[in-house]
Structure 1
Amino acid sequence: MTIQLNVWSVFYACAAVQGYFLAVILFSVAKGSRTANRLLALLMLLFSIYLSDIFMSKAGLFYEWPHLLYYGVPLWYLFAPLSYLYVRYLLAKPVRWCWWHMLHLLPFFLIIYKLFPFYSLPAEIKIQFWTGVLKPPGGTMYNFLFNLMNPVQLFLYSGVTLKTIWEYPARQENTAGGVAPAHLHWLKIFVGLIALFAISDFVMCIYYFVYGKMVTEWTQIPLAIFSLILYGVAYLGIIRPEVLFPEKLLPKRNGSGINGAQAKQYAAQLVQLMASEKPFLDPDLKYSDLAMK
């Protein structure tokens, strides 16, 4: 079998390989929120698996390894909840976990349940389903609704996530754990690209359901989006790491209750005390002891 490669295939393959490296690096980065970094690492890993899956399809590699067909599909249904959690933890607004949060994984398990019979098929039958010789069981409407679940899920989660970002008040910069506007700008771009992927995937699902075929050029849109995210994260990690790994801001003090004249008086007394008694030489000196003086 001859591997079929073109410029786009190489572009996506390079993005996927870079994503695997990013996942390893992000998982071990100690800057900023470690939980957010690990969630982003997991997203980079899933995006890379998605691109690798498409690359193998376009290059015809599934003819050689048919048992790898559709193994990455259930992972697509983790994009939405992981993106939401990443934003929440980067904004220092962690989720309070309850048992019903497991419902976030419901689409993931539904797709595994749907594909499980396919995974146990012989290699020859898998290739026939992949090439369209055999049609998937369940009927057109049944499969259409399953295909539609991913873009709808992504779009709904993107809306909730963007709402979380936009409601993040400006005064939050003055509170413990707040992040700067540059980080909010990055999050808006990130979630916006996820929403754009959801819209493009939704349009392709509708078109395929109505006309029974896929426009090849349209399939480049989601691939390009994930590639841009992977290349963008790599760029920020190298050129502007402070945007990708925000440090928690310390809260600003609202005031101590003394006016300017009193502050100057206390400062002068402190300077005089330091010059005369040299309390800074005492290794056991405490703030309370200094205040008593």
Structure 2
Amino acid sequence: MTTDAAVRPRRVELAGFLKARRARLSPEEVGLPPAPRRRTPGLRREEVAMLAGVGVTWYTWLEQGRPINASGQVLDAVARTLRLDRAEREHLYRLAEATPLRAGAGTTAVSDVVRDVLHGLDPIPATLINSRFDIVESNAAHVALFAHWHSLPCVHKNLLWCCVTEPRAREWFPDYEREVPHLVARLREAYGRHVGDPSWEEDLRRLHETSPEFAEMWARHEVAEPRDRVLRFRHPVAGDLTFNRTELSFPSAAGLAVAVYPPRDESTRDRLRLTRPAG
């Protein structure tokens, strides 16, 4: 049974998400005549309610995070009105329906099979992560690829933390401005399953305090699903490297995935060897 302590943070999260999604739509985008001199960007609550076919008071209470029930049919109407994609729609349902927290999330034991896959991928860089991007374990190729990443000793062991706290991250990671917001959006999507979890809440609090940049991206309420990416890294020895990044999941390891970085071209494949220690 979901406790009030878990429901309240979900409702706060829901309120912020709906406001952010409403603010990104203009009247023209949804077929309404332009309204001159709006004090705030985006649609008004009344317009969302009208387009979704729900009562203004009901939608206002939903957006205020009040403890009201919402059917799937009504949530579908709101999602269509706000032009939510699949990841955003699922995020809305989890928050509005106050889905119970998944017991033991993030504590899945790593099986020998998963470890064999991870280390068997070498010389392709690969790392085992959870939905919060904590680095559970990496193979030797991944360790070598990122050996020079930090100007200070790494204490976070987390892909997102390693980006937003490293002063030279933009130098090593040319795609920073595109990929870090994607990581934050994925974190937001995963957070929908862990709202109220003390470890998640504390981690987010520390991220907000440590990185104003993260706080700004988090405030956008963007959500995203995993998808294959093209990533470029600038290695101090091997030079510019380009990878196809994908993730492998395992039925026996819920909440964990192996992020794999196969070289995208022959040049990267050849120079990847230069990242390994000599000898």
Say yes or no: TM over 0.5.
no
The structure in which a higher percent of residues are helix is 1
The structure in which a higher percent of residues are strand is 2
Q: TM-score, normalised by structure 1?
A: 0.23
Q: TM-score, normalised by structure 2?
A: 0.24
